[in-house]
Amino acid sequence: MKLKRLRQDDVEINLISLIDVLLFLVIFFMVSTTFVAKSQLSLILPEAATNEESNREKAIEVTLDADGHCNVNGEPLVDAKLATIEQALGTAAKGMNNPTIVISADAKATHQAVVTVLDAARRLRLLNISIAIQEPDEP
């Protein structure tokens, strides 16, 4: 007696749900990743008793290290001369309405370096200036 075999369907893996899961994971990791890079200069900020946060949306960050290197919004400058800083501040302030200049100078940076940044800002009529500090450690 000859029995007829039941025809078996081909086994398939449903890839659509796997693609959905992978897409969800990619989106999750993209959203949870921090893309803000801090300045490459190593700074030790001077200490002060009061620390007021400025409006960071309209801020131009100028960092000065102890060796005299200068960055404007994380971009290193070729030198710390007045003309170079003035040009970098002018480029960073283009299109901004009354931006705040935040100077983050190392505690061992020279006073002249800070004054040069202040002078460049004054020449460009950027008058909202803030100096970044850190609060002293309590003993």
Domains of the chain by start residue, with CATH? 56-131 (3.30.420.270)
Residue with the larger pLDDT of the pair 5 and 122: 122
Does 56 have pLDDT greater than 60? no
**Predicted local distance difference test score (pLDDT) of residue 54:** 46
**Mean pLDDT value of segment 101-112:** 89
* Residue 88 clears pLDDT 90, i.e. is over it: yes
Q: Residue 48 contacts by C-beta under 8 Å, 6 or more apart in sequence?
A: 133, 134, 135, 136
pTM for the whole structure: 0.59
- What confidence tens digit (pLDDT) does each residue in 119-129 have? 999 999 988 88
Read off the pLDDT of each residue in 43-62 and give the average, rounded to a whole number. Answer: 66
**Residue matched to tokens 């960073």:** 92
